[in-house]
Chain A
């Protein structure tokens, strides 16, 4: 598999504390990679590095041969990186439809978006997206009035709308019911292949349902990589999760 996304020797420190300590990780094109690890392992920070929210103090990130670490966030997004945040981040004063419309950033420049016809064209697309994430009835509702699970779905819908080649998901099923979680798993499996996904997740059932290869992080480093069975049997992984009730309850 080609090195589609590649993190090389990434280190980050916050006030002297090393959140990432020489992290190396590669993800192939079209792959659905799950990223797991105990709390504070540095999973969120790893996604922050890829999308440009946090700049590494050492190491480099490349995506399809493009070096990302010196680019601004919007430039990284424009080369095809989308991000869902751990705390659902939507535009609360805008309606569901407007949220999806903002996310559908085909032409992100100011002048291109001053044209009157720029909005009508995407309307059908937005209705289809809303149906996909089960928010068709809420299209004209303000995003502030959605439940926690619906907000998670809206942000997932926004990432589909953005149509980024690489999608980074940080705990997308947190706060969802079992039924919603299952629907999310189905959606992710559908997205894989056309998009590359990196999904941070705690729920091992969900991980097993969607993941081919699982990467385990611990103390800012990559600890192990493999299928669910391989990873669960790995002695280092067992040790890392010791005391936290084992991998399934992390």
Chain B
């Protein structure tokens, strides 16, 4: 056996897989050094946040085989958790008596509703922004996966659940700000650092969370549990006969994915300076699916870059109004093309090219090696 040269002990393989991830993180951190434009950095931070959201989908869809069409629901919950806390911190000019949010005053709400109370604590909001989406996902997953719902039905249920929550938020205007969302927020302040949406601190906060999300997702996919989740994706029923409780693994990856999406949602509120029901809308939820497919759903870095590149492209092109209308068409076409010709997305393409180069290099080395040997032999 050739265990010396092949990556049988798993270590070289692991470092080869984590290298692109660290490289991307380094680039994200280095960007402000060469880009001295706060407006542009804010825009890029937005795309990075959408990248985190797409990584969360890659985890459930690419690794777990669960196509969550309501991924933006977790994103929205995180976003509202952050917005509620920051709304309660706004200076009294913008709020009613006793710190009551302005839109509640306009809607004749006399007292802060009970579910707003805990958000007076920023610590609670930060935990809730990650934990609440995870718990909602776990509860939904418990019903869905325990009753062995699979495939397209899971997608429909997740999409429907998100639409319902979206409608409830719009409908309950006096408690949620309704269609307008929650605006006029205070700046986040943590450990004496103020996170201005257009400041470097916010950019680095986002960059740090990019790295954190990628590393957590990477770590999970490389545990045995992550492997079992991939086995479930390949052949769900077979996994059961090895003694694994399939539903438990599906609920876990579904909830982990929701937690990361919740983190992205919180950051989105900071970068955008408001929360809106559109954050948990169908449009963004479907966009995430396209970004994930374009980048490569079975690659965390691929999914991340897919989002940053496609969303960035959209941002750049949307300066011209004529193009904005055709954008939906472009997105649709892109999705169809990728599904047909690049089932593993850009990441799959990159891997293929990389492998071809490596093989070629190996082949030339082998030729050089034999030439060297024959020379030695004749000498």
Contact = CB atoms under 8 A, between A and B. Distances in A.
A binds B: yes
Interface of A: 51, 53, 72-74, 77-78, 82-83, 85, 89-94, 97-99, 101-103, 105, 108-110, 113-116, 118-120, 123, 127, 131, 136-137, 139-140, 158, 162
Contacts, number: 106
B373 to A, nearest CB: 24
A120 B227 CA distance: 13
Given A119-B224, A162-B242, 13 more contacts: A72-B240, A89-B235, A97-B8, A98-B231, A101-B224, A102-B239, A108-B244, A114-B224, A115-B224, A123-B10, A139-B6, A139-B8, A162-B243
B151 to A, nearest CB: 17
A74 B227 contact: no
24 contacts: A74-B240, A74-B243, A77-B243, A85-B238, A89-B235, A90-B238, A91-B235, A91-B238, A93-B233, A98-B230, A101-B224, A103-B242, A108-B244, A108-B245, A110-B248, A113-B225, A114-B220, A116-B219, A118-B223, A119-B224, A119-B227, A123-B8, A131-B1, A137-B2
A140 B223 contact: no
Interface of B: 1-3, 6-10, 219-220, 222-225, 227-228, 230-231, 233-235, 237-246, 248-249, 252
Contacts of B242: 74, 77, 82, 102-103, 105, 108, 158, 162
A50 to B, nearest CB: 11
Contact of A73 (B227, B230, B240): B240
Nearest to B65: A93
Contact of A120 (B6, B10, B234, B246): B10
Nearest to A80: B243
Contacts of B244: 74, 105, 108
A140 B243 contact: no
Q: State the 5 A-B residue pairs at the shortest beta-carbon distance, nearest first.
A: A77-B243, A113-B225, A113-B224, A73-B240, A91-B234
Contacts of B240: 72-74, 77
Contact of B227 (A82, A94, A116, A140): A94
B10 A94 contact: no
Contacts of A78: 243
The residue in B225, B230, B241, B249 that gathers the most chain A C-beta atoms within 10 A of its C-beta is B241
